[in-house]
């Protein structure tokens, strides 16, 4: 579990692809005591596991499933990435709850200055639009951001100077792919509503069937 508050950036030091899978070496730009083998780290918002550490860089692995729904497969040696270690119990939750399970890939449409901030517009597959709401939370490239405006297949966010300078957002350019994860709580609420609406529809259909069987003979048989 993560917060979307990027701890710092890292540089991709190695890329090894084989059989539709990927192994990455990444060197953090910030102080990081020796990570435990198997611990979780979000790389551009995608939850990966540490496989090893050489004192400077950590090694991690991305499966075919991860590559299918993220932009990690487009990374090259020398690229910068956003990094965040997993949330510990008792830590401040300054962003929002982020699973690191990327939903889809968004693409940068435009980046423009707005005072000291930057306004970024993204496009994404329209089927995810119902999980994006104005003033709701979204994770883009591992960064917890607030949706300023949205519509079918697009959204806009405002990036403050602190976030701009401390993350790879400063490198975003039109056409660039970015990992996108919608708000986890919204997904659960949406799924619960679907379940309850389906259950309610089933009850209504059952009631209609019962009413169709209602007759004087039926009532006498049941003691009325």
Q: Are 105 and 178 in contact (CB under 8 A)?
A: yes
Q: What is the pTM of this model?
A: 0.84
For the chain, the 3-state helix, strand and coil shares in percent, each to the nearest 5, are 25, 40, 35
DSSP 139: E
Given a contact cutoff of 8 angstroms between Cβ atoms, the answer to whether 48 and 122 are in contact is: no
46 vs 102: CA distance, rounded Å: 6
Could you tell me the two tokens for 37?
A: 């083998």
pLDDT at position 171: 96
Instruction: State both tokens at 130.
Output: 């119902």
pLDDT tens for the chain, 224 residues long, are 899 999 999 999 999 998 889 999 999 999 888 888 999 999 999 999 999 999 899 999 999 999 999 999 999 999 999 999 998 777 777 778 899 999 999 999 999 999 999 999 999 999 999 999 999 999 999 999 999 999 999 999 999 999 999 999 999 999 999 999 999 887 878 777 777 777 655 555 554 555 555 566 665 665 65
Listed residue (88, 70, 84, 75) closest to 5, CA to CA: 84
The pLDDT, as a whole number, for residue 218 is 60
pLDDT of residue 35: 83
- Look at residue 87 in the predicted model and tell me its pLDDT: 85
Residues near 106 by beta carbon (within 8 Å), at least 6 away in sequence: 122, 123, 124, 140, 155, 177, 178, 179, 180
* pLDDT value for 95: 77
pLDDT at site 219? 56
pLDDT at residue 208, as a whole number = 58
Closest CA to 28 of 85, 95, 100, 107: 85
């Amino acid at each position: 579990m993560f917060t979307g508050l990027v701890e710092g950036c890292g540089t991709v030091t190695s890329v090894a692809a084989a059989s539709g899978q990927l192994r990455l070496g990444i060197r953090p730009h910030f102080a990081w005591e020796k990570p435990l083998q198997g611990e979780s780290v979000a790389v551009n918002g995608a939850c990966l596991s540490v496989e090893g550490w050489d004192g400077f860089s950590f090694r991690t692995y991305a499966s075919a499933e991860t590559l299918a729904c993220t932009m990690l497969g487009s990374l090259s040696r020398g690229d910068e990435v956003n990094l965040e270690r997993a949330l510990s119990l008792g830590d401040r939750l300054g962003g929002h709850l982020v699973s690191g399970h990327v939903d889809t890939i968004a693409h940068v449409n435009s980046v423009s200055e707005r005072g000291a901030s930057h306004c970024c517009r993204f496009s994404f597959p329209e089927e995810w639009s119902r999980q994006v709401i104005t003033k709701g939370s979204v994770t883009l490239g591992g960064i917890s951001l607030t949706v300023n405006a949205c519509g079918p297949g697009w959204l806009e966010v405002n990036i403050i100077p602190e976030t701009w300078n401390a993350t790879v957002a400063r490198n975003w350019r039109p056409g660039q792919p970015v990992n996108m994860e919608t708000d986890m709580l919204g997904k659960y609420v949406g799924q619960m509503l679907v379940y309850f609406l389906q259950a309610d529809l089933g009850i209504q259909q059952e009631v209609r069937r019962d009413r169709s069987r209602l007759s004087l003979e039926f009532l006498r048989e049941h003691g009325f």
